[in-house]
A and B are shown apart, each in its own frame.
Chain A
C-alpha cells in the first residue's frame, strides 16, 4: 500500500493517547512533564480538528478508482454507494464538454441529517467534525436520507440502517488518509484539517477559487471543489445547450 502517512497527525494522536491515559488521574502538570510543551498545551486545550476534503476536478479523469476503493474498503453492498463520480456532459456538437464530479458526504458544518435524526444515531463528532452513524441506535427510518441535500445517504440493504461516507474514520484515526484519497491516481483529492492554517488543504483553500455543492441550502459543506461544473439537468429548459448528468448510481437521476 502506498499510504501517505501524515506524520504530524500520527504524532499528535500518539501524544493525545498518552496524555489521555495519564490525565485520568491528574491534569496539566503531569502532561507538561511527559511531553514537549507545545504539543502538551494543544492537548490540554483539547484542540479540535475539522476534517475536510478538497477535490481538484481538473486533475480528475473520471476513472472511478475512488468509488472502487471505497467499495472495497467498506464492502459496500451492490446498488448503493458512499463515494461516486458523476459525469456532466453538456453542449451541442461541436461545442461540447464533459466534466467529472466526484461525490461523497460533505460532512457539513450544519448537517441536516443530524438535525432530523430522531434517535441521535447520527451525530457530528466534536473532535474532528466527521458526521457518523451509530448503527446500534439507527432505526432505519430514512428521515436522514430524505433530509440530505446531497443524496449522500442510503439505507444499507445488508444491515438495514442508514449508511454513508465517514471519511474512513478507521484510517484517519490512525493518521492515514481516506481510501479514496489514497487511491486517486490523479492526485485530485486533498484531505486534511481545515482548522489548521498550515495544513496542505488550508493552504490550497486559501490560494485557489473553490466552490461547494448547493451552498444555498446553508449546510456549509466541508468538501470543496476546484473547477467543478455545477451544471444540472434543470438547465435544459434554460439555454441553447443540453446538459446530461450521468450519476453511475441507482437511481440514475441526480437529486
Chain B
C-alpha cells in the first residue's frame, strides 16, 4: 500500500471548506440578486450566511491540527508566494473573517431586508462571493499543480471542486430551509418558501449538470490520453481500486440520482408552467445525497492521487 500523506483530516477539510464557501457564496449571490427569489431572498441568504463559516472553521481546525504542531501554521502568514497553498491560506484566513462578519449582520433580532445593517451586509456579500469562490477554487488548483501526481494534474479539477462546492452549498441551504423555514401557516410565507425552493432546486440541478459534464470531461481526458494520466485514471475506472466508491457514491448517489430527481421536480414548472410543489422527503434526501457525494468526491480524488504515480522512471 502506498503511503497516504494526506488522509482523512485533509479530505474532510476539502469537503467542509467547499460546503462552507459554497453556502456563503450562494448566500451572497442570492442576497445581491434582483428578482427571482422575491420576498424570500433574505431568508435564503440568511440560511447560507449563518451555516457557512462553521464548516470552514471546523475544516481549518482539522488541517491545522493535522500538522502536529498547530502554531507552526502561523509561518504561512509570514509571506505570500505563488504556491497555491500560500495563496489559499491567505484567502482562507480573509474568508473566515469576512464570512463571520457577514454572518453577524444576520444575527440581530431586528435583522431584515432594508434594515440599518443592510448596506454593510451587501458590502460584505460583495467581497464574500469572490473570496468564497477563491477558497473553493484554490483546493483544486493546489492538487492540480503537481506533475508528480498525474491523477490530480489537470486544470479541470479546480472547476470540479468549485461546482461541487457550490452545489453542496445549495444543498446545505435547502436542508436548513426544511428545518427552519418550512414551518409556517401563513400562506404568503408558504408561497415564498415554495418559490425559493424552486429557485434553489433549479440552480442546484444546473450546478449538478455542470458537475456531471466536468466529471465526464475529466474521465474522457484520462481515457483519451496515454501514459501517466491513463495509468492513474485506471484507479477509478471499472476494475480500479476506487471504482466502486467513485461510480456508486460520487456519480450515482452524489450526482445522477439527485440531478434527475431535481430535474423531474423543476421541469413541469420550467417548461409547462405548472405549479411547483416541494416534497419534504426529497428536500431532505436529495441534499443529503449531494453532501455524501461531495465528501466521496474529495475522498476518491485525494486517495486516487496518492495511490497512483508517474508510470515511467
Q: Tell me, yes or no, whether B309 is within 8 Å of chain A by CB.
A: yes
Taken together as a complex, chains A and B put the C-alpha atoms of A141 and B5 apart, in Å, by 9
Q: Binary interface profile of A, 94-112, with partner B (CB < 8 Å = 1, else 0)? A: 0000000000000000001
Asked if B83 contacts A230 (CB within 8 A), the reply is no
Per the 8 Å Cβ criterion, residues 1-45 of B in contact with A are 1-3, 5-6
Chain B residues close to A by CB (< 8 Å): 1-3, 5-6, 67-69, 72-73, 75-76, 78-79, 81-86, 88-89, 142, 145-149, 231, 305-306, 309-313
Q: CB-CB < 8 A to A141: which residues of B?
A: 67, 85
Q: Tell me, yes or no, whether A254 is within 8 Å of chain B by CB.
A: yes
**Number of interchain pairs (Cβ within 8 Å):** 98
What is the distance, in angstroms, from B47's C-beta to the closest C-beta of chain A? 33
Q: Tell me, yes or no, whether A168 is within 8 Å of chain B by CB.
A: no
Taken together as a complex, chains A and B put the C-alpha atoms of A142 and B148 apart, in Å, by 14
Contact partner of B78 (CB less than 8 A), chosen from A137, A147, A250, is: A137
Asked if B85 contacts A214 (CB within 8 A), the reply is no
Q: Binary interface profile of A, 142-178, with partner B (CB < 8 Å = 1, else 0)? A: 1101111100000100001000000000000000000
Q: List 23 A-B contacts (CB under 8 A).
A: A115-B82, A116-B84, A116-B146, A121-B75, A139-B67, A139-B72, A139-B75, A141-B85, A143-B85, A143-B142, A146-B148, A147-B148, A147-B149, A160-B67, A160-B68, A214-B313, A216-B310, A230-B312, A230-B313, A232-B311, A253-B2, A254-B309, A255-B309
Asked if A116 contacts B72 (CB within 8 A), the reply is no
Q: A119-B76, A120-B79, A217-B147 are in contact. Are A140 and B69 (CB under 8 A)?
A: yes
Q: Tell me, yes or no, whether A251 is within 8 Å of chain B by CB.
A: yes
Q: A146-B146, A217-B147, A251-B2 are in contact. Are A140 and B313 (CB under 8 A)?
A: no
Q: A118-B81, A139-B72, A146-B149 are in contact. Are A254 and B313 (CB under 8 A)?
A: yes
Q: How many residues of A contact B (CB 8 A)?
A: 36
Taken together as a complex, chains A and B put the C-alpha atoms of A139 and B69 apart, in Å, by 7
Residue of B nearest to A231 (CB): B313
Residue of A nearest to B231 (CB): A234
User: B67, B84, B312, B313: which has the most chain A beta carbons within 10 Å?
Assistant: B313
Per the 8 Å Cβ criterion, residues 172-223 of A in contact with B are 213-214, 216-218
Given A116-B85, A117-B81, 14 extra CB contacts under 8 A: A118-B76, A118-B86, A119-B78, A120-B79, A121-B75, A137-B75, A142-B6, A143-B83, A147-B149, A149-B148, A149-B310, A214-B310, A230-B313, A255-B309
What is the distance, in angstroms, from B141's C-beta to the closest C-beta of chain A? 11
Q: A140-B67, A141-B67, A217-B310 are in contact. Are A119 and B147 (CB under 8 A)?
A: no
Asked if A146 contacts B6 (CB within 8 A), the reply is yes
Q: CB-CB < 8 A to A117: which residues of B?
A: 81, 83
What is the distance, in angstroms, from A183's C-beta to the closest C-beta of chain B? 25
Residue of A nearest to B311 (CB): A234
